């Protein structure tokens, strides 16, 4: 205990010192409310970078993905959340609520005003007179409740409350059981057990230990809404339970420290004791801000526009919320490897978030990759989606390959390349079977036998295209490891996308990815299944529901469902053939050939953007604005990106154009502000155009990548020339080795497209 | 609390009344030590029928399957076990040990003498001076320790102890973590988390709450062998932990009640409070015996031979130990259905145990079948093996089909036939993928496409033959449900075994099941993989190990590995082609044709038995002694069975010829003593010959099946005639409907084979 006090004193001193000595306060640019309205679904509560505990408000009908819903009744503050996700909500476990007046255990809640949020801190004034402040450590939540009005007051802990119990489509969370025990007049412990949610995950248990700063003067528990005063425990009989403490009227402030664990009550208590019990709230808040400043400061962006800094640093903040570091909190196996959860999902984040981490947090990214390999080792496959310690689901390919390849090809240290390759080959060679939405590659036997996924399987279009890209990731890693036979095999397989390329003409554009039957024929009678199929409860039944009607365009031989936005049972996931026919990130030169050459390709791209077919809301099109580079039209990339950044992102609460998807959308924004964009899963960065005069990126180990933009102005969006470390750079891309030891990329900007933009060497293709 | 006391008083009164009023004390015939030596692996500790808690000694190096090992050091008494199983051990969770003298937390244990066991009770005198007595309820263990020598004494609870941590072949259990907390001077709670074991199962958590009858005078805890006196808690950091209580020298007897739960600490406490806390040990013991008498008394066997009764009732007792009723203790999902675990595994038990339960405990069997269907609903597939809440493994077919069909065809009430069929079709139509040892049908795509499982897959021989039998089970259920197209399809598929029938000659016998390649050719170059493959840690790696050498016989074109006993990677599981070429339980007439007619078939069977190829140790041959019936040679069946019963079963500790396999072996013994044997998964009982003058079987609902044997003597083993309900019976089989409303089967025995045996109508074939 003495040791603990010393530790706390030192931490407090450190925090004060940090505040006094600190440099730039990056956290001050972050507005966690950006993206909380509209479709962003971002989480505005308190979290550490990659922090397991995400403490924030659960609102309204508890049906919102991040828990929070602007303007809705605050039900309380729970400890686990995800940020930016869609589909059925996950988590919302262990909810704390400061009540005033009469206690009700079934329909408590309060309106709120005067919200404030910053990295690691959230505050709101509840209409019931309680001011709630939240901060956190990695594994604990810290609450400070100030009761501003006379009258009865207390704090309840609802272990039966979770998000999304009424979500549709088999993506609801299910409360399997909950338990609570009042240990003393200032301690409550317990747990809940939950399954389901978007990833239709297996059961997991969340344990907590809460210690309160003031002794309770009354107490009780409830089960299924039946409250019992002076009861100290409710055991788990499958029903929702909770407990409350009441306080004397002169108790104005009560603080709570809640340790959370996926392992046990004792571990939850240990987390509480080690990280937050006895430490003043403001010290915890300052420590959280210190950690955020250290992380956010990996990129130092120079701008005089406060809104630009707000947008940028909030985006960077969003990217650092997930995945979640649960090392030491893995309930499924023991291992010396790190353990990360809440990959939600790689299909979104592989394109931007992971390449960004590779750049600015290589040690973290190596840990993340090692945890993916460890998940393969113990769960059979690397995840595409994973949450609550369960793999599930895959929206398209097995995109862990892209994450692993991005890390291996950029030489991140401490990853076993052989094991990594083995994990990737498992995806590529062994059908997952049963529920092929869970992990691995559904329809793989078709893909191996036919070279494409036939219409016998769902998401055949998305799967075929992404498997081809995933195979290219494997081919490159195999080549780097000297496994040349393997490299050649997978390089061949990476051309599989061509097997679904049908040379039909639509809107004067030639060639689209279209459905094909297992007998090799184009499937002109293909019908999308109805929504019923989607809503069948997993495990999916064998009966297929009757098909819906095809759009007219299809019957006329035009490309398949050109403007639809599919889901699990459809041919494409979250997009259409217009967009997916561009998804060949490893084989763009060949795509240009298939499209009839450079000019056709450029006009196809123009047509695509100008017709409003491009969809920044979702991830499949993330790379498309950059495809102009392969056609020698850097200027067009710059224009498209510039318009997207300007028109679709803001520093308002609705400042994100779609789900932030665990930071994937925000990371897209970050890269394009710096001035380059990764071709994920390859050792390739595509030069676009910077939005800041100078950006300094800390690559770790004292290595700095500086990006400078001479002559930058709102009108000067084009690139006149580029130098790297002073040498003229005649390519529209660079590789990691070009900057890994630190470098300066210097753009000279111009109001008009120039020669460099037309002549820079195109990025590589397969 | 007052209510609890009243309940306890009533229970005590009930037990006393039961003892006073009881009829026959069937439990007195049971010797739980039968099968504990040799290969039986039976569990000798305290259990209720289908009881979740199985409280018994863990011995020696904790490497024995049931925990117990005769003559070895007793390490203590743990609460979860299985009986009769092979492979890597499972369970051994929450171990209690009465120590005397100096406490050691790393290498405690004691020799023991004067063991006694009976249903629901176990006693042993430890060399350290403590006499240990154990009894139990469904979810709690009750311990009574009597310290017979002066000196220091105490009781330790080791939550880090489990069985089989050093088991080979990837079948070891892994302790993921453990936790302990001393709540008062007479209460300890905690949990452990374990994965692995024979079924390579996922992690599960076992919670406990223990209450002690005497206040401790000293206490402490340990972690990883480091003991700390007066410490009250060890949190879960992945290491093994435990706690101890010490007692004053005048404390001679300490009783412990341990509630166990797979849900939570609170549920463990609730189980303890509801079932055993405060109830005198002897009352619990009597209650357990009462439950056993009620169950064992479902069969009333008439014999003057105490050894025969001992063998018979012990066998019946063994059959009733598993599966385990964990309704209300399902940690994975919530459901209104019953929940059973420890199917270990259906490959063993479908042949005998489940048909026996269908007969004597139809309500229990219907619950078991409903739980299998519910497992399909929530885990994707019905299990073949399942333990610790995880499916795994399949040794051959998907034999849940056999269990479900046995129940449906015999009209067990309360089973939804449509849901049951859906669950069976999932096995038959959807490849499980990934680790195809887990559940469902490995190699299914071959089986559907080619009509057999090719040598591309492991266990191709066993799988093909069992899938054919499983398909026949589906066909019959479909027919019964009026699904005629389905019935026809699966009836066709049930002939698939013929696709591996190769007309080669070996030992003058023609035709064997042999390996075949996926291109349709017989695989003359097939090599069994080496053992290395078996020992690779799951998830199985992609690399196959080099093949071993083929036996000479194979090179000469003789049948494949005629005398080998295979495992996971082999062509046959646990047997060879001699034996498996007889495994066509649904198509024996066709098998006889393939073998060249009745005479050839009989001489083939004779050759098989007389050469010692028949293997009673394992299950694949269970039906073979009865195959003579299809050839009109009931006398030969009688002779073979008589010899097996006499030579391979005894009432000694080594009285079982092989692993009891959760009672499968014992149930084989039970049926053949009564005088008939089930053709499992069909509505067919095969008449053999009774060993008791009279057996009365309680079918439930007041219906009694009586089997009588006139003129029975040790020499009169043949059957002269049979009547059912007084009418002459000219078939060597009967169906469930023939006896379901109660009936009397009367055999007239004879010293010589007679006409009935040669003329009785053969049982049905596909």
Same domain for A113 and A124: yes
pLDDT at B559: 42
Domain membership of residue A757 (yes or no) is no
- Burial of A413 per CB tally in 10 Å (0-12, 13-18, 19+): exposed
Residues 156-185 (A) with a CB less than 8 A from some CB of B: 174, 176-177, 179, 181
Q: Is residue B702 part of a domain?
A: no
Judged by CB atoms closer than 8 Å, whether chains meet at A435 and B380 is answered as yes
Q: Is A274 touching B (CB cutoff 8 A)?
A: no
Identify whether residues A288 and A411 lie together within a single domain: no
Q: A with B: how many residue pairs have Cβ under 8 Å apart?
A: 132
Q: Count helices and strands (H / E) in chain A.
A: 21, 32
3 state DSSP class of B96: strand
**Helix, coil or strand: residue A357:** helix
From the list B177, B238, B435, which residue is nearest A380 (CB)? B435
Q: What is the ipTM of this complex?
A: 0.93
Tokens 């079918």 belong to which residue?
B699
Nearest CA in chain B to A374: B539
Gap from B176 CA to chain A (nearest CA, Å): 6
The count of C-alpha atoms lying within 13 angstroms of the C-alpha of A749, restricted to the half-sphere facing its C-beta, is 21
> Measured between CB atoms, does A273 come within 8 Å of chain B?
no
pLDDT at A169 over 90: no
Q: Are residues A91 and A127 in the same domain?
A: yes
Q: Is B436 on the interface with A (CB under 8 A)?
A: yes
Q: Which of B266, B378, B542 sits opposite A233 (nearest CB)?
A: B266
Contact A264 B235 (CB under 8 A): yes
What pLDDT is stored for residue A505 in this prediction? 72
What are the E-state strand segments in A161-315? 173-184, 187-196, 201-212, 218-223, 226-229, 233-234, 241-247, 253-261, 299-302
Interface of A with B in 300-329 (CB under 8 A): 328
**CATH for B247:** 2.70.98.10
CA-nearest residue to A445 within chain B is B445
* Whether B199 contacts chain A with CB within 8 A: no
Q: What kind and span of H or E run contains B70?
A: none
Q: Is residue B732 in some structural domain?
A: no
B430 touching A, CB under 8 A? Answer: yes
| Secondary structure letter of residue A343 according to DSSP | B
Residues 536-575 of B with CB under 8 A from A: 539, 541-542
A331/B237 CB distance under 8 A: no
Q: Which residues contact B29 (CB under 8 A, 6 or more apart)?
A: B296, B306, B309, B310, B312, B313, B314
Q: Please give the Cα distance from B347 to B439 (Å, whole number).
A: 12
Round to the nearest angstrom and report the end-to-end CA distance of chain B: 61
A178 → chain B, closest CA residue: B264
What sign results for the dihedral spanned by CA atoms A579, A496, A349, A703? negative
pLDDT of residue A8 exceeding 90: no
Same domain (yes/no): A111, A63? yes
Residues of B in contact with A440 (CB under 8 A): 433-434
Q: Give the mean model confidence (pLDDT) for residues A277-292.
A: 98
Please indicate whether, in this complex, the C-beta atoms of B434 and A433 are within 8 angstroms of each other. Answer: yes
All residues of chain A having their beta carbon less than 8 Å from the beta carbon of residue B265 are 179, 265
Q: How far is B379 from chain A (nearest CA, A)?
A: 8
**Range of B346's domain?**
305-687
Residues B206 and B334 in one domain: no
| Domain identity same for A283 and A356 | no
Q: What are the chain A neighbours of B436 within 8 Å (beta carbons)? A: 433
A266, A431, A435 member nearest B235 (Cβ) = A266
pLDDT digits (tens, 9 = 90+) for A521-549: 988 777 766 544 333 333 222 222 222 33
| Contact residues, chain B, for A437 at CB < 8 Å | none
Instruction: Name the domain boundary from A686, A703, A725.
Output: A686
Q: Do A177 and B425 touch (CB under 8 A)?
A: no
B121 and B140 share one domain = yes
Query: What tens digit of pLDDT does each residue of B684-725 get?
Result: 999 999 999 999 999 999 999 999 999 999 999 999 999 999
B21 within some domain: yes
- Least Cα distance to B689 among B621, B754, B616, B614 occurs for B754
Q: How many angstroms away from the CA of A431 is the closest CA of chain B?
A: 5
| B722 occurs within a structural domain | no
Domain membership flag for residue A711: no
B331 and chain A in contact, CB less than 8 A = yes
Query: Could you say which DSSP state residue B552 is in?
Result: H
Q: CB B237 to CB A436 under 8 A?
A: no
Long-range contacts of A478-482 (CB under 8 A, 24+ apart): A478/A421, A480/A408, A480/A409, A480/A417, A481/A417, A481/A418, A481/A421
Nearest residue, CB atoms, B539 vs list A267, A380, A425: A380
Q: Is residue B212 part of a domain?
A: yes
Query: Is A272 strand, coil or helix?
Result: helix
Residue A221 Cα to chain centre, angstroms: 37
Same domain, A287 and A317: no
The residue among A667, A686, A705 that closes a domain is: A686
The shortest C-alpha distance from B138 to chain A (Å) reads 17
Regarding whether B241 and B332 lie in a shared domain, the answer is: no
Are the Cβ atoms of B433 and A426 closer than 8 angstroms? no
Is residue A519 in a domain?
A: yes
Q: Are A122 and A235 part of one and the same domain? A: yes
Note the pLDDT of residue A139.
98
B272, B296, B320 — which closes off a domain? B296
pLDDT for residue B535: 39
Give how far B436 is from chain A: nearest CA, Å: 9
Query: Do residues B268 and B348 share a domain?
Result: no
Burial class (CB in 10 A: 0-12, 13-18, 19+), B479: middle
Which residues on chain A are in Cβ contact (under 8 Å) with B420? none
The pLDDT value given to residue A534: 39
Contact criterion met (CB < 8 Å) for A205 and B205: yes
Residues in B touching A177 (Cβ below 8 Å): 263-264, 334
Query: In chain A, positions 457-476, which contact chain B (CB-CB < 8 Å)?
Result: none
Q: What's the CATH code of the domain at B593?
A: 1.20.1610.10
CB contact under 8 A, A266 and B179: yes
- How many domains does the structure of chain A reveal? 2
HSE-CB at B489 with a 13 A cutoff on CA atoms is: 10
CA pseudo-torsion sign B333, B336, B341, B347: negative
CB-based contact, B691 to chain A, within 8 Å: no
CA distance B84 to B64: 11
Contact across the interface for A434 and B436, Cβ inside 8 Å: no
Q: Under an 8 A CB cutoff, do A177 and B270 touch?
A: no
Confidence of residue A14 (pLDDT cuts 50, 70, 90): low
Go through chain B and tell me how many residues it has.
766
CA distance B27 to chain A (A): 34
Cα B122 from chain centroid (whole Å): 21
SS3 track for B369-424: HHHHHHHHHHHCCCCCCEECCEECCCCCCCCHHHHHHHHHHCCCCCCCHHHHHHHH
Q: What is the pLDDT of residue A570?
A: 83
Below-70 pLDDT ranges, chain B:
1-22, 507, 528-565
Token readout for B455 is 């040598």
Pair B502, B440 in one domain:
yes
Whether the full predicted model's pTM is greater than 0.90, yes or no, is yes
CB proximity B449 to A under 8 Å: no
Closest approach of B700 to chain A, Cα-based (Å): 32
Residue in B181, B445, B542 closest to A266 by CB: B181
CB contacts of B422 in chain A (<8 Å) are 541-542
What is the overall mean pLDDT for chain A?
92
Q: What is the 3-state secondary structure (H, E, C) of B171-219?
A: CCEEEEEEEEEEEECCEEEEEEEEEECCCCEEEEEEEEEEEECCCCCEE
């Amino acid at each position: 205990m003495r040791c603990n006090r010393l530790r706390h004193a030192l931490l407090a001193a450190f925090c004060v010192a940090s505040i006094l000595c600190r440099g730039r306060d990056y956290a001050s640019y972050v507005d966690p409310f950006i993206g909380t309205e509209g479709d962003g679904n971002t989480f505005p509560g308190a979290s550490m970078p990659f922090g397991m505990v995400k403490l924030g408000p659960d609102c309204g009908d508890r049906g919102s993905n991040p828990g929070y819903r602007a303007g809705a009744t605050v039900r309380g503050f729970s400890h686990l959340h995800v940020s930016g996700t869609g589909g059925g909500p996950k988590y919302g476990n262990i909810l704390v609520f400061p009540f005033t007046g009469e206690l009700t255990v079934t329909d408590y809640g309060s309106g709120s005003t005067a919200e404030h949020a910053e990295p690691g801190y959230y505050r709101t004034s509840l209409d019931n007179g309680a001011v709630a402040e939240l901060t956190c450590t990695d594994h604990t939540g810290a609450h400070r409740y100030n009761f501003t009005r006379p009258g009865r007051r207390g704090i309840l802990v609802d272990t039966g409350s979770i998000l999304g119990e009424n979500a549709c489509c088999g993506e609801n969370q299910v409360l399997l059981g909950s338990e609570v025990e009042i240990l003393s007049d200032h301690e409550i412990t317990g747990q809940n057990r939950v399954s389901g949610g978007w990833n239709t995950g297996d059961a997991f248990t969340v344990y907590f230990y809460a210690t309160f700063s003031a002794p309770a003067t009354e107490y009780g528990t409830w089960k299924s809404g039946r409250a019992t005063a002076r009861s100290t425990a409710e055991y788990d009989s499958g029903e929702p339970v909770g407990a409350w403490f009441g306080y004397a009227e002169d108790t104005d402030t009560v603080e709570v420290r809640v340790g959370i664990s996926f392992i046990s009550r004792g571990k939850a208590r240990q987390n509480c004791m080690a990280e937050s019990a006895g430490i003043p709230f403001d010290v915890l808040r300052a420590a959280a801000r210190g950690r955020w400043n250290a992380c956010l400061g990996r990129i130092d962006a120079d701008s005089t526009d406060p809104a630009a800094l707000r947008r940028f640093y909030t985006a960077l903040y969003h990217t650092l919320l997930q995945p979640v570091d649960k090392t030491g909190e893995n309930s499924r196996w023991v291992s010396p490897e790190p353990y990360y959860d809440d990959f939600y999902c790689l299909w979104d984040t592989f394109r931007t978030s992971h390449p960004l981490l590779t750049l600015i947090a290589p040690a973290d990214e190596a840990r993340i990759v090692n945890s993916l390999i460890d998940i393969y080792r113990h769960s059979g496959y690397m995840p595409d989606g994973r949450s609550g310690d369960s793999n599930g689901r895959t929206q398209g390919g097995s995109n862990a390959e892209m994450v692993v390849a991005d890390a291996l090809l950029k030489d991140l240290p401490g990853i076993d390349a052989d094991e990594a390759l083995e994990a990737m080959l498992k995806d590529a060679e062994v059908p997952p079977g049963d529920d092929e939405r869970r992990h691995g590659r559904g329809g793989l036997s078709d893909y191996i036998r036919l070279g494409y996924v036939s219409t016998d399987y769902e998401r055949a279009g998305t799967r075929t295209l992404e498997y081809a890209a995933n195979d290219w990731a494997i081919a490159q890693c195999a080549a780097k490891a000297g496994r040349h036979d393997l490299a050649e095999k997978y390089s061949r397989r990476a051309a599989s996308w061509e097997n679904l390329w049908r040379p039909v003409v639509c809107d004067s554009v030639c060639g689209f990815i279209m459905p094909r039957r297992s007998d090799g024929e184009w499937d002109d009678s293909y019908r999308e299944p109805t929504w019923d199929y989607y809503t069948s409860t997993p495990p999916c039944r064998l009966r297929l529901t009757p098909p819906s009607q095809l759009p007219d365009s299809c019957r006329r031989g035009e490309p398949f469902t050109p403007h639809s936005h599919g889901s699990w049972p459809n041919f494409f996931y979250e997009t259409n053939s217009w967009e997916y026919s561009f998804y060949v990130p490893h084989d763009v030169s060949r795509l240009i050939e298939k499209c009839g050459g450079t000019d056709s390709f450029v006009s196809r791209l123009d047509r695509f953007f100008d017709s409003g077919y491009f969809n920044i809301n979702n991830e499949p099109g993330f790379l498309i604005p950059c495809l102009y580079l392969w056609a020698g039209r850097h200027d067009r990339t710059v224009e498209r990106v510039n318009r997207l950044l300007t028109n679709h992102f803001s520093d308002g609460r609705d400042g994100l154009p779609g789900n932030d998807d665990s930071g994937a959308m925000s990371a897209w924004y970050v890269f394009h502000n710096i001035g380059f964009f990764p071709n994920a899963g390859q050792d390739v960065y595509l030069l676009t155009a910077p939005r800041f005069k100078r950006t300094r990126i800390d690559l770790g180990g004292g290595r700095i990548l500086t990006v400078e933009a001479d002559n930058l102005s709102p009108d000067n969006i084009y690139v006149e020339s580029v130098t790297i470390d002073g040498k003229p750079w005649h390519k529209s891309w660079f590789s990691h080795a070009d900057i890994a030891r630190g470098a300066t990329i210097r753009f000279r900007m111009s109001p008009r497209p120039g020669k460099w933009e037309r002549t820079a060497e195109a990025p590589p293709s397969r």
